[in-house]
């Protein structure tokens, strides 16, 4: 049995997100089974890892047991940026073990592998098409014995071994108990959409992140998105008393100077009620104080958003050019919730963002393939933003002209420390707008409902409840 | 691989190595690695069988595991050293445990930790019987 343990150094997979899930990578001398249905991405995952290490100067031995030619294998990888022909065959050595397995059985295959390993001293050994070992071996127990010997070989020669196998048949294989880890790749359909998920079923001596994680396959290869609600570190942010102003005349007074720094605010309102403009005020105020600010939205493209800000005399265009303001725009298409969040958190880290507006929580909700995750997912996202010392505003839409606020898809009050409600009110032939602070964390705030206007210089909030009181009570 | 085996057809120029280990995977891999270095490798799963083997043919080197059932590696070394015909055969002791230096008393020439490292193995073997 292989002796990989927490004292053995780890080898990065070179695959974004996967090392995090594995608890820091794979053990250098470990043996791992990568399993999944045909087309799940097993060969891509292993090839991506191999080229990552080949580029760094390590040698890779790739043994194929399938009847597919090496030319075809390489051609199939041409769609990916990581393929580098110049590394073949000096760093990445391809060997077929199929004929040896067929003619000389498992001892012949072991001998072939041992010779190749002793000659090339690879850092990684991949056995692609591991299923052939079972289909071409009749003797009970022989495969487990082979794996046992292979495990000793890789430990003795200090290399990591990946066995690629379909999952449907591997369920019953007893030699899986000898593996240091088992990673499953899966692809399935959800309605019209296709979804790829990865799960680490076993990882010896590691605190892996359990459960399923979404992954994508793009030109860069595989990107894995650790499930946020399972991956975030459970630490609380430092408590802050400082205030963060919106820079909106009248409104900051309602908040006793602003919202508490690093807090989370939900801005509720129907379409066209001014939520985005309020968000832009908040970000504009941040950039004026040199606080890196981020707009994350689904509906307004960067040029359209900057044009809107310019018409309101905000300086966000200059801040955008200077790099203190960033826009992430994700048109409502087939995104994945984890992918969106990863882009958001990466930008927050990279830009040291202090203020963020997530405009349209609905966009996130629409990207959720597993709705049962939403509540915990947003808790995790908001907790992470808080931990990263970001003051967050998110907008959530309520129905136009609703007399009562429709119950939200999940409890906004549990997520947000502050809730602000903006509404349209029709009075005779005129539409009026009102704003109210429903909740503010540990702070006194104006309980009144005030009228507000969207003017050339943005939003202006009435200095008191007088005008709103008048039109709300008139008959 | 069979419990008792020989790596290849030995030529007179090949030095023979006797491997004594109750773990079949260790025997198999040592046989492969040392066979590739042109040693004539003979393996056996127990110390008692090993004593029979060396009676038939004196090896150039013995690689033995320490912890084995019935007769352990230390007792095996004592038996080998007590026979004047085999006294000079170099012995490499292998174990996952730390070397019991207080019990060596000239019984083994070198000690290798398990899991074995191919580079260490070949270095120590060559040191003992290399040209």
Q: What is the pLDDT of residues B57-114, one digit of tens each?
A: 999 999 999 999 999 999 999 999 999 999 999 999 999 999 998 888 899 999 999 9
Residue in B23, B24, B29 nearest the CB of A153: B29
Residue in A107, A115, A152 nearest the CB of B29: A152
Q: Cis ω on the peptide bond leading into residue A89 (within 30° of 0)?
A: yes
**Which residue of A lies nearest to B120 if distances are taken between CA atoms?**
A156
Contacts of A148 in chain B (CB under 8 A): 24-25
Give me the half-sphere count of Cα atoms (radius 13 Å) on the Cβ side of residue A340. Answer: 27
**Burial zone of A181 (CB within 10 Å; 0-12 exposed, 13-18 middle, 19+ buried):** buried
Min Cα distance A173 → chain B (Å) is 19
Number of Cβ within 10 Å of residue A234's Cβ equals 7
Min Cα distance A22 → chain B (Å) is 24
CA dist A64 and A66 (Å) reads 6
CA dist A222 and A334 (Å) reads 18
| Amino acid A198: pLDDT | 96
Contacts of A110 in chain B (CB under 8 A): 28, 32
| Amino acid A3: pLDDT | 44
Cα A307 to Cα A288, A297, A315, A393, B48: the distances in Å are 18, 15, 11, 21, 89
Give which of A355, A358, A359, A173 is closest to A282, Cα–Cα.
Answer: A355
Q: What is the pLDDT of residues B101-112, one digit of tens each?
A: 888 889 999 999
| Amino acid A212: pLDDT | 93
pTM for this predicted structure: 0.83
Are B33 and A111 inside 8 Å of each other by CB? no
For testing contact with chain A, the best of B2, B32, B113 (most A CBs within 10 A): B32
Give which of A291, A298, A297 is closest to A351, Cα–Cα.
Answer: A291
Min Cα distance B82 → chain A (Å) is 32
- C-alpha gyration radius of chain A: 28
Are B24 and A149 inside 8 Å of each other by CB? yes
Min Cα distance A117 → chain B (Å) is 10
pLDDT by 10s per residue, chain A, length 475? 444 455 679 999 999 899 999 999 999 999 999 999 988 999 999 999 999 999 999 999 999 997 568 988 999 999 999 999 999 999 999 999 999 999 999 999 999 999 999 999 999 999 999 999 999 998 878 999 999 999 999 999 999 999 999 877 667 788 888 999 999 999 988 888 888 999 999 999 888 899 999 999 999 999 999 998 888 766 666 667 789 999 998 999 999 999 999 999 999 999 889 999 999 999 999 999 999 999 999 888 999 999 999 999 999 999 999 999 999 998 877 677 888 899 999 999 999 999 999 998 877 777 777 878 888 888 899 889 999 999 999 998 887 765 555 555 445 556 788 999 999 888 888 889 999 999 887 777 888 899 999 998 899 999 999 888 888 887 6
Q: What is the pLDDT of residues B13-52, one digit of tens each?
A: 789 999 999 999 999 999 999 999 999 999 999 999 999 9
Contacts of A157 in chain B (CB under 8 A): 118
């Amino acid at each position: 049995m292989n002796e990989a343990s927490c004292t053995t150094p780890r080898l990065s997979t070179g695959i974004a997100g996967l090392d995090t899930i594995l608890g820091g990578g794979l053990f250098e001398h470990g043996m791992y089974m990568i399993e999944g249905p045909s087309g799940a991405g097993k060969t891509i995952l292993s090839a991506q890892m191999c080229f990552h290490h080949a580029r760094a100067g390590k040698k890779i031995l790739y043994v194929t047991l399938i009847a597919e030619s090496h030319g075809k294998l390489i051609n199939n990888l041409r769609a990916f940026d990581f393929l580098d022909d110049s590394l073949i065959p000096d760093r990445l050595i391809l060997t077929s073990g199929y004929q040896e397995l067929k003619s000389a059985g498992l001892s012949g295959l072991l001998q072939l592998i041992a010779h190749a390993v002793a000659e090339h001293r690879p850092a990684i050994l991949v056995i692609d098409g591991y299923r052939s070992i079972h289909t071409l071996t009749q003797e009970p127990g022989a495969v487990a014995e082979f794996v046992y010997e292979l495990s000793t070989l890789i430990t003795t020669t200090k290399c990591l071994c990946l066995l690629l196998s379909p999952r449907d048949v591997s369920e019953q294989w007893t030699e899986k108990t000898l593996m240091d880890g088992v990673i499953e790749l899966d692809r399935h359909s959800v309605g019209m959409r296709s979804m790829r998920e990865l799960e680490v079923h076993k990882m010896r001596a590691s605190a892996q992140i359990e459960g399923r994680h979404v992954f994508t396959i793009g030109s860069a290869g595989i990107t894995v998105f650790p499930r946020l609600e399972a991956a975030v570190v459970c630490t609380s942010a430092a408590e802050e008393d400082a205030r963060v102003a919106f820079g909106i005349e009248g409104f900051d007074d309602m908040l006793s100077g602003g919202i508490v720094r690093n807090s989370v605010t939900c801005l509720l309102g129907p379409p066209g009620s001014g939520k985005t403009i309020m968000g832009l005020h908040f970000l504009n105020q941040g950039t004026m104080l040199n606080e890196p600010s981020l707009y994350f939205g689904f509906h307004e493209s960067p040029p359209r958003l900057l044009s809107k800000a310019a018409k309101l005399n905000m300086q966000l265009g200059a801040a955008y050019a200077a790099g203190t303001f960033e826009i992430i725009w994700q048109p409502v298409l087939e995104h994945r919730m984890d992918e969106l969040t990863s882009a958001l958190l990466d930008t927050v880290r990279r830009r040291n963002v202090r203020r963020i507006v997530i405009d349209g929580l609905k966009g996130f909700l629409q990207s959720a393939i597993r709705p049962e995750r939403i509540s915990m997912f947003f808790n995790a996202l908001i907790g992470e933003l808080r931990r990263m010392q970001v003051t967050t505003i998110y907008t959530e839409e309520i129905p136009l002209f609703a007399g009562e606020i429709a119950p939200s898809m999940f409890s906004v009050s549990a997520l947000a420390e502050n809730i602000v409600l903006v509404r349209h009110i029709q009075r005779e032939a005129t539409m009026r707008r009102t704003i109210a602070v429903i909740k503010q964390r540990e702070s006194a705030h104006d309980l009144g409902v005030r009228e507000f206007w969207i003017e050339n210089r943005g939003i202006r909030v009435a200095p008191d409840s007088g005008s709103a009181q008048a039109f709300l009570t008139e008959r | 691989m069979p419990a008792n085996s020989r790596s290849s057809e030995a030529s007179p120029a090949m030095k023979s190595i006797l491997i004594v280990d109750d773990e079949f995977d260790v025997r198999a891999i040592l046989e492969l690695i040392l066979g590739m270095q042109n040693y004539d490798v003979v393996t056996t799963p127990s110390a008692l069988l090993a004593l029979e083997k060396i009676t038939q043919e004196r090896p150039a080197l013995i690689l033995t595991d320490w912890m084995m059932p019935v007769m352990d590696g230390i007792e095996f070394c004592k038996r080998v050293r007590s026979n004047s015909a085999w006294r000079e055969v170099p012995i490499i002791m292998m174990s996952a445990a730390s070397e019991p230096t207080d019990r060596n008393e000239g019984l083994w020439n070198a000690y290798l930790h398990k899991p074995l490292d191919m580079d260490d193995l070949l270095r120590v073997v060559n040191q003992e019987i290399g040209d």
